[in-house]
Each structure stands twice: as C-alpha cells, then as structure tokens.
Structure 1
Amino acid sequence: MIKKLSYFTLLAAISVLWGADIRAQTAPGEASELLGRRTDLEERIRSKSEELENLNRQMEAVRQNLESTKSERMSLQSELKRLQTNVSQLQLSIRADEATNQKLGLEIDSLHYDISDITDSIATKEVAVNAILRQIQRNDDRNLLYTLLTNDSLADGIMKVQSLQNLREQLGVDIVNLVGLREQLGAKVASVTQKKTEIEIRRRAAEVKKSLIEEQKEDRQVILVQTKSKESLYEQQLAELKKQQDDIAEEIDRYEQQLRSEFNVGLLPGRRAIFTWPILLASEGGKGRITQNFGEVSYLYRGKPHNGLDIGTPIGTPVMAAESGTVIAVGNNDRSAWSKYQYGKYIMVRHENNLTTLYAHLSRFAVAKGDAVERGQIIGYSGNTGYSTGPHLHFGVYWAPSVEFRSVPPAAGLVPVGVTIAPEDYL
C-alpha cells in the first residue's frame, strides 16, 4: 500500500505543473472584467497616439512656416511674425509634451498588468520547480535496480523510472522558462523606470516652454519700444547691430586664425564617433535638422567658414552633453532682447579627451559652472539668443588646451575662442 501511495505521490508531483496553473486562473467574471480594463487601456493609448500624430503634423506645418520666413527680407513685421510663430510652436510643443506624458502614463499602467501576469507565472513555476526538486531528491539515493525491485511489478517499476526521467526533463524546461520569465520581468520593470524618467523630463521641458512663451511676448514689447514701432528705425538699428556683430566676428576670427596657425593637428584624436548628438535628429525620431555644417561659407559670417555645426530645432528643445565632462563656462553675450551678440547664452564642457564642446544660442541653462555632467545629460534648452536668424543650436568642438575667454565689446561677458574642429568628425 505504501508503495502505491509513493507512486501516486510521484504522479501528483507531475500534475503540480498543471494544477498550479489551474489554481492561478482568475474566476470567469474577474477575467472578463480584467480583459475589459486592458482593452479600454489599449484603446486610450491608441487614441493618444492619434492625438500626438495630429499635433506633430501641426508642429511640422509651423516649422515649415518659420523656415520660410528666413528667406524674407528682415523687417520689423517679419520679426514680430517670427516671435508670434515661436509662441505658436511653443504652445503646440507643450500640448505634445502633455499628451505624450498622458500616453506614457497609460503605457505604464499597461506594463503593470504585464508585470502582474509575469509575477504570477513566476510564482506558479517556482511552486512547480520546488515540487519536482523535492520528489527528485527523495528518489536520488535509490538506484535503478532498487526502484525496479521495490515495485509490485516490473511494469510499475519501469513506469516509475520513466516518470522520474520525465520529471527531470520537465525540471530543465521549467528552469529555462523561469529564467526567461525573470528576464521579461526585468525588462518590463526597466521600461517602467525609463518611461517615468521621460515623463519627468517632459514635465520640466513643458515648464521651461511656458516661461519661454512669456519671454517671447516680452521680447516683442522690447523690440516695439526700441524701434518705436517704426519700420525705418528698425532697419537702421538692425544695420547698426549687424556692423557691431561683424566687428566682433572679425576680431574672433583673427584670434582663432592665429591659434590655428600655431596648432599641431597631429595632436587631435583620430576621426571616430566620440560624441553623441546634443540634439536628436529628425531622422532618429527627434526634432533636429542640420542647417549648416562646419566650414560652410555663409553671408552671416562675411563669407568666412562656419566654425561649428548648426542644428535647427524649436525653441525649448532639451540639449544634451555630447560626452561626460566638467562645465567650464556658462555665459551670455547678449545685452538685451534687442542687443544680441555672438553666441548669446552658451555652455562649454571640457572632456577628458582634450576636447571641449560648445552649446550656443540657448534659451535656458540646466547646469552651472563647475558641474560634472554625464554623457546624454540635459544641460540646457535650445533658443535663439545671440546673433542668429532662427532657433537653432550651434555645436562647436575645440582643442581644449587652446580655449580662451575674451572680452569683445559690445558683446556682453566673455566670448570663447580656440582651435575649432569639425564636429562631424567625432559624432
């Protein structure tokens, strides 16, 4: 009788795999309610995705409208129009941030359902694995001959041996499945953490954009007061600003030419992807577009080669450190919303590879001088400060030992100069 009970105990252990699954099943009514909640959640995520697609189309239309104004003759009316377009773009961007955060919140809810399902499956598999292990351990000290001889018949002995073999095989399968489930759980939890981080980043960006809307409105009033709302006075003062900027650029160019003439290019690291992009490009799902490469000749610089890489992007776009390093400068060359010079608001970060990166024409800072920053960390937000014809980031790369900070009136503060290098060689 005891032998029979032992045999049936063995069969019971095998059935744990299915029995545990059956016990874990939700009651029909609860299952139906759960399915309904998850279906509703998926529908709300889909709806938010459509809302975001619509907002992205609107933002693209505004971007193209803003881009078209660059070809217009600079005038008071075109400047006021540009400021209003910036406001519209910021308002749409805030709505997109809010909709994205709502969608991310829904996706987190969906992930919590997945995590709950996986956790239940892990618990079920652990029960099954433990039951199998206990049964195998009870039989490990018995050899094949003993197992065959201690049963009522040879057939019973062979069946028990086969059952133990099946248990061992099932144990291997269950352990593999358990490892897979734990990996899935880790990935889901990591995804939740990532989405929560993105929500916080977008929340902060939305706050920055709200303050920038007010700033754009204030800039409009400054310009109207400065020009007394007269087109002729605007053009006259604009011409004066351009002459002042040309003088600043000429002086900076002299400094940098002298530094380049004394520089041994053999000191530079070989061309390779050292830096990450400070702004995600549209081709990678971001909003950045290259508007001017290093070395290109532009009327803005009196026909001189451009000393950086320009990435067009809406005002308020997060700007990331291209590599880990230390912030060596946080400056502003503007004197007012009207008297804007050179780089406007800028940040410089020195890296351990003897290169220093410049992030210019910013609207806001997110770091201070002396801060240690990590690769990909948000250090500021893009803008249209300094001498600029539209919202963009000027990304510069310098040979770190050559970097100096010069006073170049009428630009406010200090202007960074040094041996400039093509950023494209290291992105």
Structure 2
Amino acid sequence: MKTWRRFFIVSAITASLFVASSHASLFAADIEDLKSKIADRNSAIEALEAEIAGYQADLDKVGKQSKSLQSAITTINLQKKKLETDIKLTENRVEAVNLTIKELSLDISDKSDLISTNIQAMGETVKSLDRMETTSLLVILLKHETLSALWDGIDNLERFEVQVQSELHRVRELKTGLETQKTATEAKQRELTALRSRLSDQKQILTSNKNEQNRLLSATKNKESEYKKVLAQKVALRDSFEREMLEFESQLKFEIDPTRLPSIGKGVLNWPLDKIRLTQEFGDTSFAKSGAYNGKGHNGVDFAASIGTPVRAALSGVIKGTGDTDTVCRGASYGKWIMIEHGNGLSTLYAHLSLIKVTEGQEISTGQIIGYAGNTGYSTGPHLHFTVYATQGVKILDRKSAVCKGTYTMPIADLKAYLDPLEYL
C-alpha cells in the first residue's frame, strides 16, 4: 500500500524540484560584467609589463656606456619612469584582484541561494511524503478520475526517484564548489594585502629615486667635470674603507667548527630573487683582481636586479640585524643591508637595497619578501649583493671608522667565515 501512496506525491513535488533545478543565477549579468572588467585589467597589465620591459632594455643599454653625468641622469630618469610604471602595474593588479574577489563573492552568494532553494524543495518533498503516508488508499483512488491516470503515476515513480537522487548529488556538488570558492576568496584576499603593501613600498622607493636625482644634481652642479670629481672621490672612499675593513677582519680569530655547517649541495639555500642573472661570482674575480676589494676577493655574489625588485629570504630564520652604511659613509660599502641567521649554521647578507621590510629579531620564512634591490652603498649599478657566512664567524658590530669619521653598524666576519654562495644555492 505504501507504493500506491508514494506515487501520488510525484505531481506535487516534481514541481518544487523543477523550480530548484531550473534556478537561474540572480547575479549572472553582474558576473559577466565583472569578467569583462577583469579581462580589460589583464590587457592593461600586459601592456604595462611590455612598457616596463622596454625601460629595462634601455637601462641595460645605458649601463654599458661609459660613466658620465649624462648617462647617470639618463639612468635615474629611466629608473623613475620604470618605477612609476611599476606603480601603475601594481595598481592595476590590485584592481584586478578586487574585481576577482567581487566575482567570487557573487558566485558564492549564487551557490548559497541555489543550495538553499534545493534544500527547501527537498524539505517540502519529505513533508509531502510524510503526509501521503498517512492518507488512506480509498482517498488516493478517489483523487484520480481514471485507472489509466493511476498507472501513469506509478510509471513516473521510478523516474521521480532518480530525479531526487540527482538533486541530492547536485546539492553535494554545490557545497563542494562553495568551499572551493571560499578558499579561492581567502587566497585572493591575501594576495590583495600583499599587493597593497608592495604598492606602498614602490611609492617609497620612487621618492628615494627622486631624492637621489636631486642629490646628484646638487653635488655635481650639473657639470661633467664635477661629476668626474664626485666619482673619483667615491672610488677613493670605497678603497680606503675596504682597506680599513680588511685590516680589521684579518685580525679576527673566531672559532669556526666545520662540522656545524651543512653539507655543500644545491638547494640548501633558495635563490633570493625570482629571476636570476649572475653578474659577479665569489672570490678572486676579474673585478676583484682589479683591486676593487684590496686583494681579499669578492665576499659574495652579485645578481642583476633593477631598483624595486623584491628580495626574498634564502631560508627561514631570524633577522639578526639591518642597517644603512650610507648614513655614516655614503657610497663606501653595503648601503642598506639585512642579515639573517638560519638554523643550519649559515647566515646570509643582502646588500645595496633600496628598501628594508624587516626588523631585528623578526622571524621570517623561506621566500618571504624582506626588502627590495637597489643601488645604495658602493654600487656601479643596481644589483643585489648576496653573502653567505658561517654563523660562528660573523658578528654585527658598531665600529668607529677613521675613514668615515663616524660609527657604522654592519656585519664583520673572520675571513674564514666567508663561504661561496653558489655551493649552497
């Protein structure tokens, strides 16, 4: 008798399931509009990336020219244009992510409404089943005008049950999709936070670039002869400072236990930049042999990096210290620097930065942005200087300098503590 009762509710509840399954997105037009706007932003991003690549190509050409006041001014102007375009690019990325978050939010609302509609429809179905279970067979028979109509209902029962199962499956899929969209939204929110932070950083770097141009014009009085004097003074100061450092570091006798260092091998440290182009290796390079480091060799490696390029931690660790040698001895040493102590017996230094993003004592993760590449300190062009130390052999010291007539803060190491970064990267 239950079978006879069940088929009578088919006509009553099929309608409700039909409403649920034919649910049209309330936000379809809005979502399509957002997709169109996102596509426009992505096109703008591609155009800006091409413009930035053009500025970088021009900077590379100027960098190969002989040093002159005109080339220095041209370089700073190109850097300024590139930084301004970098800012536009980040602004467009921020807006693209904002639009994507809005699209995801509408899609989440749409799925939530559809789930609610389906659940409500199936709820009504269950109620109808309960009501029909209490209806007598005589009443059921009297509700149909002919026996043929009765048999048609029975034939539809199997198809109806399949439809119910289909709707249940659909609800499960919608719930899975909803969770996926929520996860994607959270990821985009994190990306948005990072982009807004980078935008703020880029504006600070642009301000520094403008200040550097003003400083150059003021120091040279816009004359080539004055520029040559400034350049010569900078080289002389660098050489004197390097001699002073070499004399001091040569006297250091820190005890270094090799067994506390990780085994040499690729991947012990991650690359500190997203794109790698090595411009100077470790040790007695041709530039070092020219007398650049007073005979002690290059104490790290150099990577090409335009001003404002994100610099990442090569490994998790603790920020041992940060500083800026230009505050005491402009153009003589590392400029803005960061040192990280890692848990494997190594410490790493990142120098010539345009902006520092971390503070002493801060714990950082592998790949985290800690600063941005620049041209501070003694630098023949924008790049990242990367040094690897045996942690036991390096300390951050405040030291008075006869050359610089002041007290500078920077890492000082036993010469044996300098390790070849390429053996660990």
| TM-score tier after normalising by the smaller chain length | 0.7 to 0.9
Aligned to 2:267: 273
Shift of 1:360: 1.2
**Per-residue deviation, residues 194-220 of structure 1 (Å, max 9, x unmatched):** 223323322232233323333222222
Matched with 2:321 is: 329
Q: Which moved more, 1:126-135 or 1:76-85?
A: 126-135
Q: Which residue of structure 1 aligns with residue 353 of structure 2?
A: 362
Q: What amino acid does structure 1 have at the position aligned with 2:418? A: T
Which residue in the other structure is 1:92 paired with? 85
Which one of the candidate residues 17, 29, 39 is aligned to 2:32?
Answer: 39
Give the partner amino acid of 1:185: L
Q: How far apart, in 1, do the equivalents of 2:45 and 2:381 lie?
A: 25
Contact 1:136 1:164 in 2 (8 A): no
Shift of 1:76: 1.9
Q: 1:359 to 1:130 in 2, by over 3 A?
A: farther
Residue in structure 2 matched with residue 413 of structure 1 by the alignment: 408
Please state how far the C-alpha of 1:106 moved relative to its aligned partner: 1.5
Helix, strand or coil for the counterpart of 2:408?
coil
Instruction: Give the distance between the partners of 1:36 and 1:404, measured in 2 at CA.
Output: 62
Cα deviation digits, residues 86-110 of structure 1 (max 9, x gap): 1111111111111111111122222
Matches within 5 A, 1:285-300: 289-295=277-283, 297-299=285-287
Q: How far apart in 2 are the matches of 1:219 and 1:44?
A: 38
Number of residue equivalences: 397
Shift, 1:388, TM fit: 1.2
- Equivalent residue, structure 2, for 1:347: 338
TM-score, normalised by the number of residues in structure 1: 0.77
Mapped to 1, the partners of 2:121 and 2:280 lie a distance apart of 63
Residues 20-51 of structure 1 deviation map (CA, whole Å, 9 limit, x = unaligned): 323x335xxxx6xx443333322221211111
1:147 aligned partner: none
**379-388 or 262-271, larger mean C-alpha shift:** 262-271
- 2:408 partner amino acid: G
Shift of 1:355: 1.9
Distance in 2, matches of 1:88 and 1:416, equals: 34
Displacement after TM superposition at 1:16 (Å): 6.4
Residue equivalent to 1:311: 303
Instruction: Choose which of 77, 81, 99 in structure 2 pairs with 1:106.
Output: 99
Distance 1:326 1:7, change over 3 A: same
Q: Which residue of 2 aligns with 1:239?
A: 232
The answer (yes or no) to whether the contact 1:408–1:415 under 8 Å persists in 2 is: no
1:57 positional shift = 1.0
Q: Tell me how far apart the structure 2 counterparts of residues 217 and 239 of structure 1 sit (CA, whole Å).
A: 23
SS of the equivalent of 2:331 reads coil
Task: Indicate the residue corresponding to 1:149 in structure 2.
Answer: none
Mind listing any 5+ residue stretches in structure 2 that lack a counterpart? 132-150
Question: Post-superposition shift, 1:257?
Answer: 7.5
**Displacement, 1:175?**
6.6
Give the one of 383, 387, 390 matched to 2:381.
390
List per-residue Cα deviations over 1:260-289 (Å, max 9, x = no partner).
Answer: 9975544322325344443322xxxxxx64
Measure how far apart 1:233 and its partner are. 3.0
* Runs ≥4 residues deviating over 6 A: 10-16, 128-138, 173-176, 254-262
What is the alpha-carbon distance in structure 2 between the residues aligned to residue 251 and residue 170 of structure 1? 84
Report the Cα offset of residue 339 of structure 1. Answer: 2.7
Cα 1:194–1:256, aligned 2, differ >3 Å: closer, same or farther?
Answer: farther
Alpha-carbon separation, structure 2, partners of 1:4 and 1:36: 45
Aligned to 1:63: 56
Q: CA deviation at 1:247?
A: 4.0
Deviations 1:107-166 (A, max 9, x none): 22222232223323443555577789999999xxxxxxxxxxxxxxxxx9xx89x95996
Which AA in structure 1 matches 2:320?
I
Q: Name 2:144's counterpart in structure 1.
A: none
**SS in structure 2 of the partner of residue 186 of structure 1:** helix
- What SS class does the counterpart of residue 414 from structure 1 fall into? strand
Alignment partner of 2:43 out of 30, 45, 50: 50
Q: Distance in 1 between matches of 2:248 and 2:222?
A: 38
Quickly say closer, same or farther: Cα 1:188–1:280, change in 2 above 3 A.
farther
Match of residue 196, structure 1, among 176, 189, 192: 189
Distance 1:17 1:329 in 2: 65
Task: Report the Cα offset of residue 236 of structure 1.
Answer: 2.9
What is the one-letter code of the residue matched to 2:194?
A: I
Q: Secondary structure at the match of 2:371?
A: strand
Paired letter, 2:68: S
Equivalent residue letter for 1:323: L
Note if contact 2:260-2:345 (Cα within 8 Å) is conserved in structure 1: no
Question: Is the Cα–Cα contact under 8 Å of residues 297 and 304 in structure 1 kept in the other structure?
Answer: no
The structure 2 residue matched to 1:379, chosen from 363, 370, 375, is: 370
Distance in 2 (CA, whole Å) between partners of 1:51 and 1:275 is 36
The alignment's TM-score, normalised by the length of structure 2, stands at: 0.77
Query: Identity over the aligned pairs, expressed in percent?
Result: 31
Distance 2:346 2:387 in 1: 10
1:414 positional shift: 2.5
Residue 419 of structure 2 aligns to which amino acid in structure 1?
I
What's 2:20 paired with? Answer: 20
Q: CA deviation at 1:73?
A: 1.4
Contact kept? 2:352, 2:376, Cα under 8 Å: yes
Change (3 A) 1:378 1:130: farther
8 Å Cα contact 2:334-2:376 kept in structure 1 = yes
| Distance (whole Å) between structure 2 residues aligned to residue 135 and residue 351 of structure 1 | 67
Contact 1:44 1:106 in 2 (8 A): yes
Cα root mean square deviation, aligned: 4.0
